[in-house]
Amino acid sequence: MEELTLIQKVAVFALPVLLAITVHEAAHGWMASRLGDKTALMLGRVTLNPLKHVDPVGTVVVPLLTMLTGFIFGWAKPVPVNWNNLRNPRRDMGLVALAGPGANLIMAVIWGLVIKFSVLFLHAAEWVAIPLIYMGGAGVLINIILMVLNLTPVLPLDGGRVLSALLPPRMALAFSRMEPYGLIIIVLLLVSGVLGRILWPVALFVLSFLPASNIVKQLFLS
C-alpha cells in the first residue's frame, strides 16, 4: 500500500487517538466507581463522550505535533479519584491506574481484528477496506504506544501509581514526592529521544502478539 501524506495520516489517526484517550480515561473512572469512589461517575466522566475527556492541548495539539517525531504523545483531562472513598486505598489506586492501560490493550486487539476483517473484503469493497485497514493499523499502534508509555514507572503516569501501590508505605511516600517533577522528566526524556529508545522495543514486543501485527508493521514501521 502507498505511503500516506501528512493529511491522510491525520485523517487515519484522528479517530483512533480520540478513542484511545477517551476510553483510557473512562476506564479509570469506571474502575474507581467499582471500587467505591463515585466521584468520576457523578461528574459524568465514566462515559465514551470524548467532549468530557478532551484537553485541547494534550488531546489535539500535542499529538499532532509529536506525530511528526514518530512517537505520538498526548493526554486527556485526568479523571478525578478520591482515594479516601476506595475500600482499600493503596491497592485500589493501583487497580484504577491499571484500568487505563488495560483498556488500551483491549482496544489494540479490537483494532487488530478490524484489520483482519477488512482484509477479507479487500477485493470486494476496496474503497471501504483500505481506509479501515489503515485506521485499524493506526488504532493498534496508538493504543500500544499509550499503554506502554502510561506504564512507565514515573508519577503521575499510571505506571508510577502502580509502583507506588506496590512499594512499602515509607518508600511510596518518598516516591510520591517526585510527582511535581514527573511531567518535566517525561518531556525531557521524550525530547532527547531516550524515552523512544526505551519504549519502542517494548511496544514492538507487545505488537508481535496482536492480531494483524505484520500488516501494522508494513503500514507504519517499514
Provide the number of structural domains found in the chain. Answer: 1
Question: Quick check: pTM over 0.85?
Answer: yes
| Structural domain includes residue 168 | yes
Host domain of residue 112: 6-221
Residues near 69 by Cβ (< 8 Å), separated by ≥ 6? Answer: 196
DSSP string, 93-149: HHHHHHHHHHHHHHHHHHHHHHHHHHHHTTTT-HHHHHHHHHHHHHHHHHHHHHHHH
DSSP 44-82: T-SSS-GGGT--IIIIIIHHHHHHTTTS-----PPPP--
Whether 1 is in a domain gets the answer no
Instruction: For residue 129, tell me if it sits in a domain.
Output: yes
Q: What is the pLDDT of residues 36-61, one digit of tens each?
A: 999 999 999 999 888 888 787 777 77
Active-site amino acid positions? 25
Q: Give 129-186 pLDDT, tens digit per residue.
A: 999 999 999 999 999 999 999 999 999 999 999 999 999 999 999 999 999 999 899 8
Residues 41, 160: Cα–Cα separation, whole Å: 24
- Judge whether 55 lies within some domain: yes
